[in-house]
Amino acid sequence: MGKNLLGYNFSLLHIDHVKLNSKWNYTNVISPYFRIYYINEGEGFITNKQDKIKLEPGYFYIIPSFTLCHLFCKEHLSQYFLHFFEESTEGISLFEDNRKVIKVAACDTDVTNFQRLLEINPCRGINRSDNPKVYEKHAYYKSYQELNKTVSDAVHFETQGIVLQLISRFLNSRSFKSKAPDPIPSKILEVMRYIQVNLNENLTVNFLANKANLHQDYFSRLFLKYTGQRPLNYLHEKRIERAQYLIATTELSYIEIAENVGFENSSHFSKIFKKVTSLTPGEYKKQNRV
């Protein structure tokens, strides 16, 4: 899928260097923002149902937003970390087809970029706890994003540029693969974009097929071929991703959030939320709110 990078914006949350120990042991971490780690000492692990990825010196790691994982350190881990929100004018993430942890070998430029981010964005560490249940909260998101409005234009553009450079290292990785071997047909791409900006509508597979001017069965097969998902599963995933963001960043009730992302009732919303994230909305809220 071709992407215009000018349509993407990255909002800095945290940037810091920390030394962790065996207390860094957290399960079911699923954040509405991206994480990038650079390891310079020690050892740790990022695990999920499919993979167990070793955190080791000399490597960079990215955890895309809404990627469920477990974080673990047995003894000692020294890491630089970067957290940021991604915003897209089309509503489609750069990592749409790659919601997984990606590991790349770091080069001197990467390390210099990370150190430069720290230099031009001082005092942007978490400084509360290394437990996501403590620092992943609406009030903290808001306060850190407010800091972005106080920096100079020079710092803003340099920060954006460095984040883009770091992201590019993962886009070039062999592990970064599109599920589609060929470019996504324009009809399917337009449906994906329509879903992203109309999540609150009553979207059915038949409606989306008509939108693409295709027979429903053929549309479903084509959608699966180029996205790796059935249309309904894709719709559910996008609705829940949006719901996660709203739970983490707003004061809306579950009923209001369910309506906002297109569910007719809170019961169905809760059922699909648990299916997609392995957490109930309440459990996710406890993990992300004061």
Q: Which CATH superfamily is domain 5-171 in?
A: Jelly Rolls (2.60.120.10)
Fold (topology level) of 186-288: Arc Repressor Mutant, subunit A (1.10.10)
Question: How remote is the C-alpha of 287 from its chain's centroid?
Answer: 16
Residue-wise pLDDT tens digits, 127-143: 666 666 666 666 667 77
Confidence of residue 290 (pLDDT cuts 50, 70, 90): very low
With tokens 């706890």, the residue in question is 129
CB neighbours of residue 129 within 10 Å: 10
Greatest CA span in the chain, whole angstroms? Answer: 57
Work out the percent of the chain whose per-residue pLDDT is above 90.
52
The pLDDT, as a whole number, for residue 288 is: 64
The pLDDT, as a whole number, for residue 270 is: 95
Residue-wise pLDDT tens digits, 152-178: 999 999 999 999 999 999 988 877 765
Residue-wise pLDDT tens digits, 35-50: 999 999 999 999 977 7
- Write the CA distances from 204 to 198, 200, 216, 219, 275, integer angstroms: 12, 12, 10, 12, 19
The 3-class SS string of the chain reads CCCCHHHEEEEEEEEEEEEECCCCEEEEECCCCEEEEEEEEECEEEECCCCEEEECCCEEEEECCCCCEEEECCCCEEEEEEEEEEEECCCCCCCCCCCCCEEEECCHHHHHHHHHHHHHCCCCCCCCCCCHHHHCCHHHHHHHHHHCCCCCHHHHHHHHHHHHHHHHHHHCCCCCCCCCCCCCCHHHHHHHHHHHHCCCCCCCHHHHHHHCCCCHHHHHHHHHHHHCCCHHHHHHHHHHHHHHHHHHHCCCCHHHHHHHCCCCCHHHHHHHHHHHHCCCHHHHHHHHCC
Residue-wise pLDDT tens digits, 75-119: 999 999 999 988 776 556 778 777 789 999 999 999 999 999 999
Locate the domains of the chain by residue range: 5-171, 186-288
